[in-house]
């Protein structure tokens, strides 16, 4: 790629889609590799591989970007593996507008497909040509542990009414933040960044992950139904612990228990979503969420100052900061 021009997320997504489709996977047993291909063909914004490629190019130019493609694919395969297993644990029936793997096939098939994807992801990330293969391996294995920790916390929260905002943020750091940090760290490593710059980019992923997830929580209640792609207020209906709900719980007075209680006790009647949204707005929760997004985005932006100047760095910075300002 010509490093004098800034690549776009759309062009990177097209490249990643083609490279995922070209992965050399066996045909048999079809009951295993069919579901894996189904997941990898499912689309997505390809944000995480874009972060890998742009970070590599920012530090090492076009050659580093080319070397980073396997690692970028590995990060995306790993992300999709987590979704397959999360869908099982969440009893989700759809993902990106299609049946989840365990719905289209069955749970044992989904578990095995996810397991295979986890191994494939490690091979791709660790096998990327970089100055320090051991550092790539350590970064990947560390992320596996953090994701498992985060999912364990997330599941435990479902049975608790006393989850705090700080606990929620710590969980986000081990899920959304950990994956963004992983993508940025791996890209910097392949690009040949020094230890200080690698650490700064990994550090940037944590606040950017917080901003991304809180914005997602906010959009679930405020997005345009025509473009959101799913029912507005779905998190409230499902009884999810989100930044909005947990902030409201910390602020709510005793008289608020009648409307907040059902959310914490299993989920809200869809007809009550507009009224609860009004109460959240009255408590200042929506404003607090928007301010939190801005605060964490700024922290991520500051850490990204470690990027050397250039078109790839500009594109990476725009992509990373745009995660928190998206409207869908």
Kindly list the distances between the CA atom of residue 195 and the CA atoms of 68, 136, 168, in Å, as whole numbers in the listed order.
Answer: 18, 13, 30
Residue 166 belongs to domain with CATH number: 1.10.600.10
pLDDT value of residue 70: 96
pLDDT value of residue 226: 73
CA 156 to CA 163: how far, in whole Å? 10
> 310 lies in which domain range?
9-322
Q: Write out the H or E segment, with its range, that includes residue 192.
A: none
Residue 3 lies in a domain: no
Mean pLDDT of 306-317: 94
The residue with tokens 């009414």 is 161
Which residues of the chain form beta strands (DSSP E)?
94-95, 98-99
pLDDT value of residue 2: 43
pLDDT value of residue 326: 76
Residue 4 lies in a domain: no
Which band of pLDDT confidence, cut at 50, 70 and 90, is reported for residue 1?
Answer: very low
CA 60 to CA 308: how far, in whole Å? 10
How many whole angstroms from its chain centre is CA 284?
A: 27
Residue 26 lies in a domain: yes
Lowest mean pLDDT among 127-136, 171-180, 208-217: 127-136
Tens-place pLDDT, residues 67-91: 999 999 999 999 999 999 999 998 8
pLDDT value of residue 37: 97
Residue 79 lies in a domain: yes
pLDDT value of residue 233: 87
In Å, the largest CA–CA distance within the chain is 62
How many whole angstroms from its chain centre is CA 24?
A: 26
Which band of pLDDT confidence, cut at 50, 70 and 90, is reported for residue 325?
Answer: confident
CA 26 to CA 218: how far, in whole Å? 42
Mean pLDDT of 103-108: 96
CA 197 to CA 313: how far, in whole Å? 13
pLDDT value of residue 328: 67
Of the candidates 96, 62, 59, the residue with the CA atom closest to the CA atom of residue 80: 96
pLDDT value of residue 44: 86
Give how many domains the chain has, as a whole number: 1
Residue 328 lies in a domain: no
pTM: 0.91
CA 119 to CA 115: how far, in whole Å? 6
Residue 62 lies in a domain: yes
For residue 3, is pLDDT > 60? no
Which one of 104-108, 159-163, 219-223, 298-302 scores highest in mean pLDDT? 104-108
Tens-place pLDDT, residues 215-264: 999 999 988 877 776 778 888 998 889 999 999 988 877 666 677 888 88
Residue 162 lies in a domain: yes
Q: Which comes out higher in pLDDT, residue 253 or 126?
A: 126
**Beta-bridge partner residues of 98:** 95
Which band of pLDDT confidence, cut at 50, 70 and 90, is reported for residue 161?
Answer: confident
């Amino acid at each position: 790629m010509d490093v004098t021009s800034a690549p776009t997320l759309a062009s990177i997504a097209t490249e990643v889609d083609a490279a995922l489709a070209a992965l050399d996977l066996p045909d048999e047993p079809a009951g295993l590799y069919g579901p894996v291909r189904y997941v990898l063909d499912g689309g997505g914004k390809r944000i995480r591989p874009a972060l890998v490629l742009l970070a590599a190019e920012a530090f090492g130019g076009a050659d580093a970007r080319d070397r980073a493609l396997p690692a970028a694919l590995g990060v995306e395969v790993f992300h999709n593996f987590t979704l397959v297993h999360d869908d099982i644990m969440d009893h989700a029936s759809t993902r990106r507008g299609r049946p989840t793997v365990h719905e289209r096939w069955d749970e044992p098939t989904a578990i095995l497909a996810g397991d295979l994807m986890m191994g494939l992801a490690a091979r791709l990330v660790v096998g990327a040509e970089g100055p320090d293969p051991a550092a790539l391996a350590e970064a990947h294995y560390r992320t596996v542990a953090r994701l498992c920790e985060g999912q364990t916390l997330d599941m435990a929260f479902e049975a608790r009414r006393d989850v705090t905002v700080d606990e929620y943020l710590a969980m986000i750091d081990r899920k959304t933040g950990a994956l963004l940090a992983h993508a940025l760290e791996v890209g910097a490593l392949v690009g040949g960044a020094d230890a200080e710059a690698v650490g700064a980019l990994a550090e940037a992923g944590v606040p950017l992950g917080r901003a991304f997830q809180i914005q997602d929580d906010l959009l679930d209640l405020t997005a345009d139904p025509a473009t959101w792609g799913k029912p507005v207020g779905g998190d409230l209906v499902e009884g999810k612990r989100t930044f909005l709900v947990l902030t409201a719980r910390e602020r709510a007075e005793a008289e608020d228990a009648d409307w907040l209680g059902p959310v914490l006790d299993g989920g809200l009647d869809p007809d009550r979503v507009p009224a609860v949204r009004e109460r959240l707005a009255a408590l200042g929760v929506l404003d607090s969420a928007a301010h939190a997004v801005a605060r964490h985005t700024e922290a991520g932006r500051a850490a990204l100052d470690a990027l050397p100047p250039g078109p790839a760095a500009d594109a990476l910075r725009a992509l990373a900061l745009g995660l928190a300002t998206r409207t869908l």
